[in-house]
A and B are shown apart, each in its own frame.
Chain A
């Protein structure tokens, strides 16, 4: 089975974003970057499917040259090769631009299965995978917690809201967006890191034919909707004051 896994490089979770001068994007020169967490689960699922059914896992990522770090990481974890869609704009682009560029680079490959994370930790569109499915002309399902492949058919467990699930069957080729926690992630071994150095990364220049349809015109710290009372002091002092306010003011404890 020929499996593609789309991964995005995003700023690390603990990074505190700063707004640029025109208030249209962030200044990320000082940011550390990492693989988008749901995409890491998608990669792991791809590697497990390859383990069961054979074939190859190809990681695909769109972004500036720094994206090569997460591509190497994916190769070190066990992906066979990679496609890097080179685009400086992809990091701040919308899902249409990214999915369009990925679809162009992936179209000649005839993948049986394409996996993406369900959304990204940066802009969180939750659209790229589904738009990519439409561009590739394949059926899809989102927020997947289990994947079963039997011959040319797929049966997947979709997460619904409020603790409900549903099995959905569809033919291959198909695209799935993977939920975090579907599996236990593996980490790269030293052997994997060494092997990754020899693996092929095909670089494709983004054609620029796909433009974003949404534009950030103002970026700012979210407005507070609540008056938060911050309680300071030593841990003991803060604890005493909090308990007092929860008893006397909020009446939340007896």
Chain B
């Protein structure tokens, strides 16, 4: 059996959950048609469970407990350790979200089982399933096999499997409650309500065109060059994380897993290497242009058009050309 652990917040299902259902269906096909169950954890799960029951899966399991709302790592690990022991799945699959990153490694350590994280696709090796993940900042792909006893834990990168590919069932899957006992006294984290830092002055998700700068811009006083190109294109200026970390641009202009997710008509990346954390925030852009002096930069893998060259020479030429 393959167990998918879906993710919800305030009763709303995270879209990445459907992506993992799609991944589970693919994995099931590769491993002899094992049945799939989907588990949901939290306080009030009726709506999200109803939505998930449309999937072509054997069962939706809800673990509804006051101790699981709000989320804590200790609570989720305690609940899932019991659920996994009771259900005895071969694989337990999760989306590779910040939430999963917070508790899945601890669950794997508690269960003493293998965990492969941030998987982008399935492969085969030695007659068994291998999981492909990107390493060295996306410069290499590694097919990885898991060792030891089942269950094997796997987290999937956002967008690795399309949610649209998740098969729907002919009739709704049954939804049932799974019982676990959680001793609230053993939950050590005391979370407060999530908040946003400040009102976002820029909404990059609405921008038609974006010029993004990365480490390749080298110095803060080079930013006007990128601003001038953005102006010539009618674009908003954005940045990868290191630029915002350095305080060169405000965090509201950051694109990537910790910033905004964008999908403009044009995304022009200046000196952005294209590490996974940035790529997940922009790879849905319609047309992507990479300008980078490093021909091996992963951004070139994502780009429709690429110029391998010195951005300090190419960008002034581009501005001139656009103003002709």
Chain A hits for B110, CB < 8 A: 134
Whether the Cβ atoms of B314 and A239 lie closer than 8 Å is yes
Give the size of the chain B interface in residues (CB under 8 angstroms). 94
Whether the Cβ atoms of B140 and A19 lie closer than 8 Å is yes
Is B74 an interface residue when CB atoms closer than 8 A count as contact?
Answer: yes
Is B289 an interface residue when CB atoms closer than 8 A count as contact?
Answer: yes
Is A127 an interface residue when CB atoms closer than 8 A count as contact?
Answer: yes
A 201-254 contacts with B by CB, 8 A: 211-232, 235-236, 238-240, 242-243, 245-246, 250, 252-253
Chain A hits for B109, CB < 8 A: 96, 99, 130-131, 134-135
A 159-185 contacts with B by CB, 8 A: 159-171, 174, 179-181
Is B117 an interface residue when CB atoms closer than 8 A count as contact?
Answer: yes
Closest Cβ–Cβ distance, residue B259 to chain A (whole Å): 7
Complex-state Cα separation, A181 to B245, whole angstroms: 4
Chain B hits for A11, CB < 8 A: 136
Contact of A170 with B189 at beta-carbon distance under 8 Å, contacts A133-B106, A231-B306, A243-B322 already known? yes
Whether the Cβ atoms of A169 and B105 lie closer than 8 Å is no
Chain A hits for B318, CB < 8 A: 239, 242-243
Whether the Cβ atoms of A242 and B190 lie closer than 8 Å is no
Chain A hits for B286, CB < 8 A: 250, 252
Name B304's contact: one of A143, A220, A228 (CB within 8 Å).
A228
Is A88 an interface residue when CB atoms closer than 8 A count as contact?
Answer: no
**Chain A interface, >50% SS class:** mixed
With A162-B260, A217-B144, A227-B304 known, 17 other A-B pairs at CB within 8 A are A13-B137, A16-B139, A17-B136, A124-B118, A130-B101, A130-B106, A142-B102, A160-B194, A161-B258, A168-B192, A214-B145, A222-B134, A226-B302, A229-B306, A230-B305, A236-B320, A253-B233
Interface string of B273-287 (1 = CB under 8 A from A): 100100000000011
A residues lining the B interface (CB < 8 Å): 11, 13-14, 16-17, 19, 26, 95-96, 99, 121-127, 130-131, 133-135, 139-143, 158-171, 174, 179-181, 211-232, 235-236, 238-240, 242-243, 245-246, 250, 252-253
Is B252 an interface residue when CB atoms closer than 8 A count as contact?
Answer: yes
Whether the Cβ atoms of A163 and B101 lie closer than 8 Å is no
Closest Cβ–Cβ distance, residue B148 to chain A (whole Å): 5
Interface string of B111-127 (1 = CB under 8 A from A): 00111111000010110
Interface centre among A164, A180, A222, A227, by most chain B C-beta atoms within 10 angstroms, is A222
Whether the Cβ atoms of B190 and A168 lie closer than 8 Å is yes
Complex-state Cα separation, A14 to B258, whole angstroms: 23
Give me the 8 closest cross-chain CB pairs, A-B, nearest first.
A181-B245, A213-B114, A239-B317, A130-B105, A139-B188, A134-B109, A252-B266, A127-B105
Closest Cβ–Cβ distance, residue A94 to chain B (whole Å): 8
Closest Cβ–Cβ distance, residue B246 to chain A (whole Å): 8
Complex-state Cα separation, A47 to B221, whole angstroms: 30
Closest Cβ–Cβ distance, residue B84 to chain A (whole Å): 15
Complex-state Cα separation, A163 to B256, whole angstroms: 10
B 300-324 contacts with A by CB, 8 A: 300-310, 313-314, 316-318, 320-322
Chain A hits for B126, CB < 8 A: 217
Complex-state Cα separation, A162 to B197, whole angstroms: 11
Interface string of B211-249 (1 = CB under 8 A from A): 000000000000000000000011000000110111000
Whether the Cβ atoms of B301 and A225 lie closer than 8 Å is yes
Complex-state Cα separation, A245 to B126, whole angstroms: 45
Chain B hits for A167, CB < 8 A: 191-192
Contact of A161 with B97 at beta-carbon distance under 8 Å, contacts A220-B140, A230-B308 already known? yes
Closest Cβ–Cβ distance, residue B263 to chain A (whole Å): 13
Whether the Cβ atoms of A170 and B147 lie closer than 8 Å is no
Chain A hits for B74, CB < 8 A: 139
Contact of A169 with B301 at beta-carbon distance under 8 Å, contacts A17-B136, A130-B109 already known? no
Interface centre among B105, B117, B241, B296, by most chain A C-beta atoms within 10 angstroms, is B105
Is B34 an interface residue when CB atoms closer than 8 A count as contact?
Answer: no
Is B265 an interface residue when CB atoms closer than 8 A count as contact?
Answer: yes
Whether the Cβ atoms of A168 and B260 lie closer than 8 Å is no
Whether the Cβ atoms of B140 and A141 lie closer than 8 Å is no
Contact of A219 with B287 at beta-carbon distance under 8 Å, contacts A141-B189, A246-B305 already known? no
Whether the Cβ atoms of A230 and B307 lie closer than 8 Å is yes
Name B144's contact: one of A158, A163, A215, A242 (CB within 8 Å).
A215
